Chain A
């Protein structure tokens, strides 16, 4: 029992004596209430928690994202730009992909492709990074989010291939491949 608690207990026993103050009795009662907890004892056993983490990146896009070149007029005098699409990936915090490339199914790894007889080139910009939140004992946290803006350009002066006055919109699927 601590000295404070002893004093409080004595004070409590003398409660109601000459000159005693009601607030002191309340204080003493408070200490007395804690005294039983002093008797609880503990013993402990150590052990180790261990894990190996394999870092990953995962695509987090949902829905369709389309790089649209709009309407290309054959033999037009200037290059035709496209809109830009954002492709997002979620990675282990602190872990950065080493490189990106495009699929070689519908074009080249560097982003070149042909659609309706029109050549185009896609470009993936350097990714933007939004740091994830750390895991805590209450939440699992989130990964770093890396966003690649992909846009394209069709060179000028192309003839295209089309048997009628207009063709399209024609589409095919391309893939951005992130290596980590």
Chain B
């Protein structure tokens, strides 16, 4: 009988933690997200046409540059256009009396990483390759035997 009482006392001690209790109160976390894209290029990017020889029989291609943008994950820009300060929205322009046309390739997208409870994640990286071409048989404008390198700034405008 004494042995049974001891066992009961041990059981009673073990039962004590079961008496702590919890209660909870729900609330909402709310936010509105305004999706954005932003340019992430650093340094200078140059579409270089090299040397154009007046009246050359073939068109002259420019180097390709990659222009990078970072966008909200899953959010894609709707259109791209060029500035109308140094040319047309479609990409045409004139440099040293030489006409050129720029074109932006289809966007290539690298999906960002999702935010977690440990990291804020990253945006989708959207890259546009911009190339240019100068038509053949152009005279150009230059009072001396060679002019340049001459340059001006163009802008790729992404609408989202």
Interface residues of A (CB under 8 A from B): 40-56, 58, 90-96, 132, 134-144, 180
Cβ of B159 < 8 Å from any Cβ of A? yes
B159 and A47 contact, CB distance less than 8 A? no
Contact with A along B52-78 (1 / 0, CB 8 A): 111100001010010111000000001
B150 and A51 contact, CB distance less than 8 A? yes
A52 and B97 contact, CB distance less than 8 A? no
Q: For B116, what are the chain A residues with a Cβ–Cβ distance below 8 Å?
A: none
Q: Please give the distance in Å from B92's CB to the nearest CB on chain A.
A: 4
Q: For B122, what are the chain A residues with a Cβ–Cβ distance below 8 Å?
A: none
Among B50, B134, B142, the most chain A Cβ lie within 10 Å of the Cβ of: B142
A44 and B156 contact, CB distance less than 8 A? yes
A41 and B159 contact, CB distance less than 8 A? yes
Q: For B50, what are the chain A residues with a Cβ–Cβ distance below 8 Å?
A: 51-52
B86, B100, B144: the one within 8 Å of A55 (CB) = B144
Complex alpha-carbon distance, A95 and B97, angstroms: 12
Complex alpha-carbon distance, A141 and B49, angstroms: 19
A55 and B97 contact, CB distance less than 8 A? no
Complex alpha-carbon distance, A75 and B99, angstroms: 59
Q: For A143, what are the chain B residues with a Cβ–Cβ distance below 8 Å?
A: 54-55, 139
Given contacts A44-B155, A49-B132, A53-B98, contact A137 B87 (CB under 8 A): yes
Complex alpha-carbon distance, A60 and B16, angstroms: 108
Q: Please give the distance in Å from A55's CB to the nearest CB on chain B.
A: 5
Closest to B96 in A: A53
A51 and B49 contact, CB distance less than 8 A? yes
Given contacts A48-B46, A141-B97, contact A53 B154 (CB under 8 A): no
A43, A142, A180: the one within 8 Å of B158 (CB) = A43
Known: A44-B156, A55-B147. 9 other contacts (CB 8 A): A42-B159, A45-B41, A47-B154, A47-B156, A51-B134, A92-B140, A137-B94, A140-B99, A140-B135
Closest to B128 in A: A45
B94 and A48 contact, CB distance less than 8 A? no
B139 and A142 contact, CB distance less than 8 A? yes
Given contacts A51-B134, A137-B99, contact A95 B160 (CB under 8 A): no
Cβ of B110 < 8 Å from any Cβ of A? no
B93 and A49 contact, CB distance less than 8 A? yes
> Sorted from nearest, which 6 A-B pairs have the closest CB atoms?
A143-B139, A52-B148, A56-B54, A137-B92, A50-B151, A51-B49
Complex alpha-carbon distance, A134 and B14, angstroms: 97
Closest to B83 in A: A44
Cβ of B137 < 8 Å from any Cβ of A? yes
Closest to B137 in A: A140
Cβ of B106 < 8 Å from any Cβ of A? no
- 17 chain-A/chain-B pairs, Cβ below 8 angstroms: A41-B36, A43-B39, A45-B155, A50-B151, A51-B51, A52-B149, A53-B51, A53-B96, A53-B142, A54-B54, A54-B145, A90-B139, A92-B97, A93-B97, A93-B140, A132-B139, A143-B54
Closest to A135 in B: B99
Given contacts A47-B46, A47-B130, A135-B94, contact A53 B150 (CB under 8 A): yes
